[in-house]
């Protein structure tokens, strides 16, 4: 036995997607942005590390399903308190998101997405 039958696809182990397509760049960007959005404060803590898909049951991961209920509660709480996305997405939170992208070696696509989000939040004015 030379070990060739024990191949592990490390890329697929690290993704949260059940998609079997060959477009791995999309999944890489999605995982990067999930981490960046968590750093921005726009998703629940640890949400970017909960897998969406459970390969053992070939269905949505039960922790991700539970997280959706918690996220809904968080949105309702923000609405009741009048907390808007622009209140959360501050210059400091974008700096945190950029740090996360950098330290994780995240997708270069994150730069254009974060710039667009900062513009939407009113932190960058178009030139």
Q: pTM of this prediction? A: 0.75
Domain ranges within the chain, ordered by starting residue: 41-83, 84-127
Contact 104, 49 (CB under 8 A): no
pLDDT average, residue stretch 9-36: 64
Q: For residue 95, which phi and psi values (nearest 5 degrees)?
A: -60, -40
Higher per-residue confidence, 52 vs 97: 97
Whether the predicted pLDDT of 20 surpasses 80: no
Q: 127 falls in which pLDDT band (50, 70, 90)?
A: confident
Lowest mean pLDDT, pick from 18-32, 41-55, 60-74, 79-93? 18-32
């Amino acid at each position: 036995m030379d070990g060739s039958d024990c191949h592990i696809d490390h890329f697929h182990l690290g993704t949260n997607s059940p998609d079997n397509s060959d477009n791995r760049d999309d999944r890489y960007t999605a995982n990067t942005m999930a981490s960046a959005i968590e750093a921005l404060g726009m998703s629940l803590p640890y949400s970017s590390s909960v897998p969406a898909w459970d390969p053992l049951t070939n269905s949505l991961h039960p922790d991700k399903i539970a997280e959706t209920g918690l996220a809904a509660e968080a949105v309702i709480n923000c609405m009741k308190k009048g907390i808007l996305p622009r209140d959360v997405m501050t210059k400091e939170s974008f700096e945190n998101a950029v740090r996360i992208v950098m330290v994780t070696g995240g997708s270069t696509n994150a730069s254009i997405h974060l710039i667009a989000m900062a513009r939407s939040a009113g932190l960058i004015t178009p030139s």
